[in-house]
Amino acid sequence: MSAWSELASQRLPRSEGPWAWLAAGSVALSLLMLGGLLLLIAVRGLGHFWPAGVVQLELEDGRALAGRVVRELPLEQGERERLYYTANRDLDGQVWHWLAVSDIVASERPRDLLVLERRFHGEFIGRLVEVGSVDFPDPTSTATADWNALQASLAELQALRSERDRLRREQLRPLIQQLDADPRDAQARRELAAVNERVRALQHAMQGKVAILESADGRRLVQPLDEILRAWRPNAMTTGEKLTAWARGVWRFLSEGPRDGNTAGGVWPAIFGTVLMVLLMSLLVAPFGVLAAVYLNEVAHQGRLTNLVRISVRNLAGVPSIVYGVFGLGVFVYGVGGSLDEWFFSDELPSPTFGTGGLLWASLTLALLTLPVVIVATEEGLARIPVQQREGALALGATRFETLTRVILPMTVPAMLTGVILAIARAAGEVAPLMLVGVAKLAPQVPVDAEFPFLHLERKFMHLGYHIYDTAFHGNDVQAALPLVYATALLLIGVILVLNLTAIFLRHYFRTRHGYVPRQ
């Protein structure tokens, strides 16, 4: 039988076959993983701020507990166990309880259960017995105290606190600066004493009151009111109130500093550190990247050497970030920083000033890391400008420099912006090099303040990405920190996605505005 009839006897294939479906499946799987990851982070990160309901439990052995359900896991033989967050670290010594579901006899959601966020010992979950003064605590009283009384006292305390902060900010600090300048100013000295007296009186007024609290199993606790940050009764809140509380929680997360070993509070210093570092970096990377790209594309002789340099620069974008970190540590921190210390800060040695990681070195390292990104993007933009534009400008008598500054660079601005934005997006997510050149677990001082020279380039700073790593892997209570890590991750991803989308949009806009003319 000839080959032709053999072929003809086969049925022509009607479908694409199994491999085409597997290829389609891999697209679907990639999308599923991406979507699942984003959804997980978004739900967990945003859900943390929702004032979840609190349940009161009665167990088989007669114990009583109150807390929030965190998760549920299957045990052997069809049993299930639940993890409850019960707070009250000062009473129980721990905040987590694993309970077998079958041990729970009764569970209800009483409306009077109270959650307090406190400055020490974390949260409290229980009931309010009485709000009284510190001199006459009456632990025998059984009357259910008025929730409104607590709220009123807390509002009063908040007013006192903001009055104290205002006094400190507006009167105390200027007076101290005045005295620093002229220590013999008797008038200022008298005023300072008077203001100090008022602040002390306010402090004293704050310390007066206590709340008597009762945990779910009936133990009493005397809690000074000025240590209470917030109080709410989640079971009695309406959906609208919960939404308001959620929005406030998100705002506090964005605007406050971390507390309790990074397991509570917000990430404001980390946001500030990340933004400041990235800003400094883009100030460094934008001009130098554009300069190098203009040189490579417009000035240098387009020969073999330039092509080699161009390929090397492109390849440096693929070199792992950690290698840049090593370079930053060796050259900037130990090399340049060490020399600077010897020349200018020798009286402070052996404790280093610039000879250790800091804001400046971190920005420089990341600038170096993102230079290839900016150079490549700008070069692409330059290569895309139609050659007629150049020829037209030159034909009208412009010099090369004039052609460059008046015609070519303005047309390349979107490409430069794309490059810088991509560089920023990459730098905001990099953590590994920062761990070598200047990030800190907890930086008490923000690198910008009112003290000369205002911007402290040698200080260490906090960073969102490192905050995630550190809180998740080096915290004391990972379970408690997890929701905040999710929220931080969501914030970081949000910032990076917005930056990337801007870059994509700019690129698209740029492509449609000037036709694509590839380099010949």
Is 26 among the residues that bind another protein (CB under 8 A)? Answer: yes
Q: Kindly state the smallest distance separating residue 170's Cβ from another protein, in Å.
A: 41
Candidates 64, 75, 201, 504: give the one binding another protein (CB under 8 A): 504
Report the candidate in 191, 190, 194, 228 with the shortest Cα–Cα distance to residue 212.
228
The burial class, CB within 10 Å (0-12 / 13-18 / 19+), for 253 is buried
Q: How many residues bind another protein (CB under 8 A)?
A: 96
Phi first, then psi, for residue 416 (nearest 5°) are -60, -45
Stretch that binds another protein, among 10-18, 219-227, 266-274, 378-386 (CB under 8 A): 10-18
Report the candidate in 244, 236, 251, 212 with the shortest Cα–Cα distance to residue 124.
212
Binding string, residues 345-374; x marks residues near another protein by CB under 8 A:
------------x----------x--xx--
Q: Kindly state the smallest distance separating residue 302's Cβ from another protein, in Å.
A: 14
Question: Looking at beta carbons only, is 150 or 503 nearer to another protein?
Answer: 503
Half-sphere exposure of 370 (CA within 13 A, CB side): 32
CA distance 145 to 148: 9
Helix axis angle for 409-429 and 464-474, nearest 10°, is: 10
CA distance 175 to 194: 11
Candidates 8, 43, 64, 73: give the one binding another protein (CB under 8 A): 73
Distances (CA, A) of 518 to 241, 317, 383, 386, 511: 58, 22, 7, 9, 12
Stretch that binds another protein, among 8-16, 126-134, 243-251, 452-460 (CB under 8 A): 8-16
Candidates 53, 205, 469, 514: give the one binding another protein (CB under 8 A): 469
What are the helix (H) ranges across 347-404?
359-384, 387-395, 400-402
- Reduced to 3 states (helix: H, G, I; strand: E, B; else coil), residue 439 is strand
Question: Looking at beta carbons only, is 29 or 279 nearer to another protein?
Answer: 29
Question: Looking at beta carbons only, is 167 or 322 nearer to another protein?
Answer: 322
Candidates 320, 386, 392, 494: give the one binding another protein (CB under 8 A): 320
Interaction with another protein in 324-343: which residues (CB under 8 A)?
Answer: 324-327, 329-331, 334
Binding string, residues 449-468; x marks residues near another protein by CB under 8 A:
----------------xx-x
Q: Kindly state the smallest distance separating residue 359's Cβ from another protein, in Å.
A: 17
User: Which position has the token pair 């359900």?
Assistant: 69
Asked if 227 and 119 touch (Cβ cutoff 8 Å), the reply is yes
Interaction with another protein in 146-185: which residues (CB under 8 A)?
Answer: none
Interaction with another protein in 484-503: which residues (CB under 8 A)?
Answer: 485, 489, 492-493, 496-497, 500-501
Phi first, then psi, for residue 209 (nearest 5°) are -100, 150
Candidates 96, 246, 268, 288: give the one binding another protein (CB under 8 A): 288
Reading the block at residue 175, the tokens are: 């007076």
Interaction with another protein in 27-66: which residues (CB under 8 A)?
Answer: 27-37, 40-41
Question: Looking at beta carbons only, is 313 or 446 nearer to another protein?
Answer: 313
Q: Kindly state the smallest distance separating residue 35's Cβ from another protein, in Å.
A: 7
